Amino acid sequence: MKLRQWDGFEKYVNKVMKSEKIPGVAVAVSENGKVIYQKGFGTRDLETGEPVTPETIFGIASITKSFTALAIMKLIEDGKVQLEDPVTKYLPDFRLKGCDFVDDITIHHLLSHTTGIGTMERLEQLNGFEEHLRYLNETDHTYLGKPGEFICYNNDLFLLLGAIIERVTGEKYQDFITKLVIEPLGMERTTYDLQELQGFDNVTVPYVLEDGKPKSCPWPTLGNYAVGGGVRSTVLDLLKYGEKYVGPEKNIIADESIVRMTTPVHYVSGKSFYGYALKITPDYLGVSLVEHGGGQPGVSSNFGFIPKRGIVVAVLTNLSNISADAIWLAAVNTLLDLPIDQKRSVEPEFEMKIDQLKRMVGTYRSGEGAEVEISLDGPTAMATIGNETFTLCASDESTLVIESTEKPIRFFFDGEDEAWALFLGLRMLVKQ
């Protein structure tokens, strides 16, 4: 693909950056093991004006989860772990306060976020897995259903995979991932270690929006949550990583393990499903999209691949809560010669009666502190998320869609046909 064919994509990125006030973006694309596009946009440091390049180091946030899942699959291949084993087999101290099905939660459920446990308050000061196990046993939890019944992103339970890796291998989690993935792939600008990060050049400053302007913030220390979000890397290093999912020489885990990671486990929205630390859209105009995004203070990211085409795409940015996934899909669309704004799926239009809308009205919260308020302005449904209020339209009897972003909000109803929870951004929020 000639560089001039990326002109439309670059105009799109610059438009998104201006609209969402993103200081810097890096994008890289490979096909069949060859880097065919790489570019930095904007600045990595608003004070110095230093430019973003494809070698700029960013946080990758929850893209890290696939590193952890890959390591678990390797241990399964080695016969050290089984997917259907209960977590308590490896972590006998794993208990959840008030839970009568803890022994039914398996490694499969951790990998796919289908434990039946809602999100929890993050305690990033916890640096030891034993300490985290005590926290899980002592705090109250939101129970959504039996394992496998619902999907709800849960960082606090996903990180137990790191504890299992340590228990099975006798090595520190980060050391094991470094030896298994980072070092063999020559990912020389990739690290978990914040002290090591300070020794690199060309590292971005992380930013958050404050009063409508990007403001620098410290790198999050994360503690145990590094298992699901602690890697800092570059788009070019992520291409090396992605090649192990699509290239002929996978050599970390077998093809069968990759198929298992990328097999849909639970429906998410539209045409997309969640697998093992990866989201899958099985039919995107004839190809399968496999991807995962990430978000932290100072980080919005998206990474993924198209298996049968040998395509890998990585997008990293230095601002929280922006459309890295849209930039990622625009790069995919450019490669596939599709319209730049082609969507993964389009929600249908549905005319919902006022009585149906009233079932959904209320305040919904997650254990992490997120809150969504659904209200009515006459016959129009509205959602207040944070400090913003959005107009909603219906796509079916149980789904409202944020008109400006086209993001669906799916509702769950009890026996009396009243909403008790909603699903947004891979998380279930419970009605108060």
Predicted TM-score of the model (pTM): 0.96
Q: Which residues contact 251 (CB under 8 A, 6 or more apart)?
A: 244
The residues of the chain that CATH labels 3.40.710.10 are 20-346
65/109 Cα distance (integer angstroms): 14
In this prediction, residue 3 carries a pLDDT of: 57
According to DSSP, residue 255 is labeled H
Is the domain covering 354-431 a CATH 3.50.50.60 domain?
A: no
DSSP-derived secondary structure for 61-82: GGGHHHHHHHHHHHHHHTTS--
State whether residue 156 is helix, strand or coil.
helix
pLDDT per residue as tens digits for the range 209-242: 999 999 999 999 999 999 999 999 999 999 999 9
Question: Nearest Cα to 39, choosing from 22, 60, 25?
Answer: 25
In this prediction, residue 4 carries a pLDDT of: 64
333/380 Cα distance (integer angstroms): 33
248/236 Cα distance (integer angstroms): 19
The residues of the chain that CATH labels 2.40.128.50 are 354-431
pLDDT per residue as tens digits for the range 246-270: 988 888 999 999 999 999 999 999 9
Output the tens digit of pLDDT for each of the chain's 432 residues: 555 689 999 999 999 999 999 999 999 999 999 999 999 999 999 999 999 999 999 999 999 999 999 999 999 999 999 999 999 999 999 999 889 999 999 999 999 999 999 999 999 999 899 999 999 999 999 999 999 999 999 999 999 999 999 999 999 999 999 999 999 999 999 999 999 999 999 999 999 999 999 999 999 999 999 999 999 999 999 999 999 999 888 889 999 999 999 999 999 999 999 999 999 999 999 999 999 999 999 999 999 999 999 999 999 999 999 999 999 999 999 999 999 999 999 999 999 999 999 999 999 999 999 999 999 999 999 999 988 999 999 999 999 999 998 999 999 999 999 999 999 999 999 999
In this prediction, residue 251 carries a pLDDT of: 86
DSSP-derived secondary structure for 77-120: HTTS--TTSBHHHH-TT---TT-S-GGG-BHHHHHHT-SSB---
CATH architecture of 20-346: 3-Layer(aba) Sandwich (3.40)
Return the H-helix or E-strand segment holding 164: helix 160-169
